[in-house]
Copies of this chain bind each other. A is one copy, B any other.
Amino acid sequence: MNPLFNFDTMPTRPVVQGPLTGSDVLSVSQFDRDKIEYIFARTREMREMVEQAGTFDLLGDKVAACIFYEPSTRTSSSFISAMQRLGGTVIPITSGVSFSSVSKGETLGDTMRVLEQYADVIILRHPQVGSAKEAAHAASVPILNAGDGPGEHPTQALLDLFTIRDELGQIDGLKIAMVGDLRFGRTVHSLTKLLLQYDVSLRFVSPEILRLPLNLMNSVIDAGVDVRETHSVDDVIKNADVLYVTRVQKERFTDLDQYEEVKNYYKITAETMEMAKEKMVVMHPLPRVGEIPDAVDSDPRAAYFRQAKNGMFVRMALLAAVLGRA
């Protein structure tokens, strides 16, 4: 027996049986209002902890694998920081994936079955719809979906919703306008689905070719939500409590002329902000490429960097929750 290795002093840390213990986080459809409230309460605790102490040893016995089949500096960085601020460690697999196991022909399921031998939780970003579900089917450790192509990006939707709630104190009763690329904008779709559980008014502002997909629009209508579509920010800016602005994603276009035509269609300038309510928030999932000029950043209603920070807190809450520590 290794004399440096004393099993008597090796603690088994307690597991809390919370509502997400051992669960995957694959889709916003998993989150009802109770679960959302639960995660948001944990998120606020995480924020308080980081502000007070920076890091805390809640997950010091845990290792996360963070595997990104497509790069996303923002999302991977916030997950990595989230895990590390809770005392856990990360296996970063954020590049080269396509040249390694994948090029050798391994299935996603097998990659998950191997990674779960090394890690207690797997954070997965993958370009294909349904990949997170497929991964969760294969793995017995929790899978956190960090975006599966045009499919789901539940942690982004939760951080968006948390930001609305945190900035305005409530969700029910709000008038929320989504602006920009509503057709391909995954974050818009996921957030919209979450919002259908609340008593909100929705305004969808986009160029014709980037309107909300039919089936999602029908879900909104079926939910009995007060909803309108429009082409102009001017139609919504006066009454909106939340302006959720998105980038027109160049990489989703096959016709670049069409992209050039619409990309600057919906710019939120200081002048736009003058028309808005005094207590209103401008959000953006970032990166932005001109939709909101830097000059707007100093406006107290510009919440997009606070929103990014909330992403770290929400992911801390989710990591703690699925690992049985919240």
Q: Which A residues fall within an 8 A CB radius of B? A: 1-5, 7, 10-14, 16, 42, 45, 48-49, 52-56, 58, 60-63, 65, 67, 71-74, 77-78, 80-81, 84-85, 89, 91-97, 99-101, 103-106, 109-111, 113-115, 117-120, 247, 249-251, 286-289, 294, 297, 305, 308-309, 311-312, 320, 325-326
- Kindly identify which residue among B56, B104, B312, B320 contacts A289, using a CB–CB cutoff of 8 Å: B104
Tell me the minimal C-beta distance from A269 to chain B in angstroms.
Answer: 17
Q: How far is the CA of A294 from the CA of B109 in the complex (A)?
A: 9
Q: A4-B325, A92-B92, A93-B73 are in contact. Are A63 and B81 (CB under 8 A)?
A: yes
- Kindly identify which residue among B52, B114, B308 contacts A114, using a CB–CB cutoff of 8 Å: B308
Q: A1-B45, A13-B54 are in contact. Are A104 and B305 (CB under 8 A)?
A: no
- Kindly identify which residue among B10, B14, B251 contacts A4, using a CB–CB cutoff of 8 Å: B14
The reply to whether A7 and B73 contact each other, CB–CB distance below 8 Å, is no
Tell me the minimal C-beta distance from A46 to chain B in angstroms.
Answer: 9
Question: Which B residue sits closest to A46, measured CB to CB?
Answer: B5
Q: A10-B52, A14-B4 are in contact. Are A91 and B114 (CB under 8 A)?
A: no
**Residues of B close to A105: CB separation below 8 A:** 250, 287, 289
The reply to whether A305 and B114 contact each other, CB–CB distance below 8 Å, is yes
**Residues of B close to A4: CB separation below 8 A:** 14, 16, 58, 325-326
Question: Which B residue sits closest to A89, measured CB to CB?
Answer: B84
- Kindly identify which residue among B49, B73, B84 contacts A111, using a CB–CB cutoff of 8 Å: B73
The reply to whether A62 and B71 contact each other, CB–CB distance below 8 Å, is no
The reply to whether B91 and A81 contact each other, CB–CB distance below 8 Å, is yes
**Copies of this polypeptide in the complex:** 3
The reply to whether B2 and A16 contact each other, CB–CB distance below 8 Å, is yes
**Residues of B close to A120: CB separation below 8 A:** 54
Q: A100-B72, A114-B74 are in contact. Are A106 and B287 (CB under 8 A)?
A: yes
Q: List 15 A-B contacts (CB under 8 A).
A: A5-B56, A10-B49, A10-B53, A63-B85, A67-B73, A71-B96, A71-B100, A77-B91, A78-B117, A84-B89, A95-B95, A104-B249, A105-B289, A113-B305, A117-B312
Tell me the minimal C-beta distance from A104 to chain B in angstroms.
Answer: 5
Tell me the minimal C-beta distance from A223 to chain B in angstroms.
Answer: 32
**Residues of B close to A80: CB separation below 8 A:** 91, 118
Q: A2-B42, A71-B96, A287-B104 are in contact. Are A12 and B53 (CB under 8 A)?
A: yes
Q: How far is the CA of A77 from the CA of B72 in the complex (A)?
A: 20
The reply to whether A118 and B81 contact each other, CB–CB distance below 8 Å, is yes
Question: Which B residue sits closest to A311, measured CB to CB?
Answer: B117
Tell me the minimal C-beta distance from A94 to chain B in angstroms.
Answer: 6
The reply to whether B56 and A10 contact each other, CB–CB distance below 8 Å, is yes
**Residues of B close to A72: CB separation below 8 A:** 100
The reply to whether A12 and B81 contact each other, CB–CB distance below 8 Å, is no
**Residues of B close to A311: CB separation below 8 A:** 117
The reply to whether A81 and B119 contact each other, CB–CB distance below 8 Å, is yes
**Residues of B close to A109: CB separation below 8 A:** 294
Q: A100-B71, A117-B308 are in contact. Are A7 and B106 (CB under 8 A)?
A: no
